[in-house]
């Protein structure tokens, strides 16, 4: 066995590094190409509600523009009657204001341009997570999948907070793995800080630190005191970052609103997305339908300002919560079936789309993603080939992910448990109420890590098999 100072080993290291850098460059190139093409497609559909919820974007856009124009504060809420100001946390409006200020342009197209380029780089976060958990070979495969996957691309180019939230949660996941590998309270606190920061953009991760803390206590093989300290650092740091928004809401409305309103809306519309919920329980699906239902119930005039959270949004959202929970308590087995079907829908990447949960992505083609003058020739052929690879990937992904989880447990059960804690949080907790693909984007991104593990193991199996076959053939010839 050669020692570490052997010159042959030293000379081989730079070659390995160059190989990894070359592969990372190819992954980034693919990520940029897929997102640029997908952005071209979506840009033509920004006024199509089926592809872009412009009403949701308008909420953040108005806040950002009013702040830049000195009309109102993004964070402070001075009027207690404006409960609609607490619909979403203030972080994404700040993000839009920064983009508008730096670019000098205020439009969703500008936001899209910034976000799709940053999203292309986000595949490096997936690579980093996979390297820390399972090594470079799995990581490179995971990065390749993330670069090509239509689902990640379509939400990465959509000017909404979902992609930025996913980047932050991926960063939190990476710091979590580093915290465990190094037994570092600093890295654990960084994980909690990032989880808290994501809640300034969107409230979906509000309970994630608790799930991670529980996973650390249950699955880590280290002294109990150290496990408890790491878990406490994650949870405590998350609470510190989230608390300013909670306190703002408490002072403004004299009510406990964790980060934003909407839990009752999602629960009620989640029941309304089912046939039984609409016909038997009187629930409705869709914000416009819910607004009209409550307008009639409250006797509000047609011309009076009235939306989901104004007027009296806190009371109305709590009423929705009570109505939904009463139905769930009376029919727990039926609702459990609804949850299971939602989870299955969030893992359905191919076949007929389910419009309730959003799009699973769009394969790039020359006709959809290229200008008319470029729809012939070599560029069009390359784009078509890329779309064909995406189409095959859609059908292979779920089997690869499930296989990868089994292999990953055998490789490193501790790291796998931590990653699965985050996956389960978004899959199960998100499915307790109405959900969409974009709400659980970190879930989808982390599952690519397991697909990378499966592809690495398949590569290793085929390489070994062909190597043995070659040696057998050579021995026969000799």
Predicted confidence at residue 472, as pLDDT, reads: 60
Residue range 435-471, pLDDT digits in tens:
899 999 999 999 999 999 999 999 988 888 766 665 6
Predicted confidence at residue 1, as pLDDT, reads: 41
CA distance linking residue 254 with residue 276, whole number of Å = 36
User: From residue 78, how far is each of 73, 313, 446 by CA, in Å?
Assistant: 9, 16, 40
Q: Long-range contacts made by residues 346-350, C-beta under 8 angstroms, separation at least 24?
A: 346/427, 346/430, 346/431, 346/435, 346/437, 346/440, 346/443, 347/398, 347/427, 349/151, 349/394, 349/395, 349/397, 349/398, 350/394, 350/395
Beta bridge pairs of residue 307? 310
Predicted confidence at residue 3, as pLDDT, reads: 44
Count of Cβ atoms closer than 10 Å to residue 6 Cβ: 11
Predicted confidence at residue 12, as pLDDT, reads: 46
Q: Which residues of the chain have pLDDT under 50?
A: 1-13
Predicted confidence at residue 439, as pLDDT, reads: 93
Nearest to 265 by CA among 478, 52, 56: 56
CA distance linking residue 252 with residue 261, whole number of Å = 13
Predicted confidence at residue 464, as pLDDT, reads: 81
User: From residue 93, how far is each of 55, 157, 266 by CA, in Å?
Assistant: 14, 17, 22
Angle of helix 123-134 versus helix 108-121 axis, rounded to 10: 20
CA distance linking residue 359 with residue 357, whole number of Å = 7
Nearest to 193 by CA among 215, 172, 166: 172
User: Torsions phi, psi of 307, nearest 5?
Assistant: -140, -170
pTM score above 0.85: yes
CA distance linking residue 21 with residue 423, whole number of Å = 29
Nearest to 176 by CA among 186, 167, 166, 163: 186
User: From residue 423, how far is each of 12, 156, 165, 169, 416 by CA, in Å?
Assistant: 37, 19, 15, 11, 10
Predicted confidence at residue 476, as pLDDT, reads: 55
The answer to whether the peptide bond before residue 311 is cis (omega within 30 degrees of 0) is yes
Q: Which residues lie closer than 8 Å to 92 by C-beta, 6 or more apart?
A: 60, 160, 161, 164, 201, 202
Cβ–Cβ < 8 Å for 212, 418: yes
């Amino acid at each position: 066995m050669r020692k570490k100072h052997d010159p042959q080993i030293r000379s081989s290291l730079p070659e390995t590094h160059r190989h990894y850098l070359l592969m990372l460059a190819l992954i980034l190139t693919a990520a940029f190409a897929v997102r640029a093409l997908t952005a071209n497609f979506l840009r033509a559909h920004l006024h199509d509600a089926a592809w872009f919820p412009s009403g949701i974007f308008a909420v953040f856009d108005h806040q950002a523009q009013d702040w830049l124009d000195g009309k109102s504060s993004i964070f402070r809420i001075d009027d207690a009657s404006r409960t609609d100001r607490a619909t979403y946390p203030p972080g994404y409006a700040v993000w839009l204001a920064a983009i508008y200020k730096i670019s000098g342009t205020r439009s969703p197209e500008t936001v899209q341009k910034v976000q799709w380029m940053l999203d292309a780089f986000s595949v490096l976060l997936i690579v980093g997570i996979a390297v820390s958990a399972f090594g470079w070979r799995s990581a490179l495969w995971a990065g390749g999948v993330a670069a090509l996957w239509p689902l990640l691309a379509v939400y990465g180019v959509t000017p909404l907070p979902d992609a930025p939230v996913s980047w932050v949660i991926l960063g939190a996941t990476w710091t979590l793995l580093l915290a465990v590998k190094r037994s570092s309270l600093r890295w654990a606190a960084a994980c909690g800080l990032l989880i808290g920061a994501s809640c300034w953009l969107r409230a979906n991760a509000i309970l994630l630190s608790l799930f991670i803390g529980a996973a650390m206590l249950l699955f880590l093989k280290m002294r109990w005191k150290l496990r408890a300290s790491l878990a406490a650092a994650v949870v405590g740091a998350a609470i510190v970052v989230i608390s300013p928004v909670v306190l703002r809401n408490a002072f403004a409305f004299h009510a406990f609103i964790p980060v934003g309103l909407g839990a009752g809306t999602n629960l009620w519309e989640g029941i309304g997305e089912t046939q039984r919920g609409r016909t038997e329980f009187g629930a409705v699906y869709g914000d416009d339908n819910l607004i009209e239902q409550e307008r009639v119930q409250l006797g509000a005039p047609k011309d009076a300002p009235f939306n989901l959270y104004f007027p009296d949004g806190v009371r109305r959202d709590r009423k929705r919560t009570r109505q939904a929970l009463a139905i769930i308590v009376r029919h727990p087995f039926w609702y459990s079936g609804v949850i299971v079907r939602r989870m299955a829908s969030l893992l359905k990447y191919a076949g007929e789309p389910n419009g309730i949960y959003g799009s699973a992505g769009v394969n790039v083609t020359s006709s959809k993603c290229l200008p008319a003058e470029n729809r012939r020739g070599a560029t069009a052929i390359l784009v078509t080939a890329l779309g064909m690879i995406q189409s095959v990937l859609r059908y292979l992904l779920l089997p690869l992910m499930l296989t990868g989880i089994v292999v990953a447990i055998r490789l490193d059960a501790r790291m796998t448990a931590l990653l699965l804690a985050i996956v389960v949080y978004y899959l199960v907790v998100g499915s307790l109420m109405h959900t969409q693909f974009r709400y659980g984007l970190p879930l989808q991104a982390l599952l690519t890590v397991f697909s990378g593990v499966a592809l690495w193991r398949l590569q290793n199996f085929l390489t070994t098999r062909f190597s043995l076959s070659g040696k057998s053939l050579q021995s026969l010839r000799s």
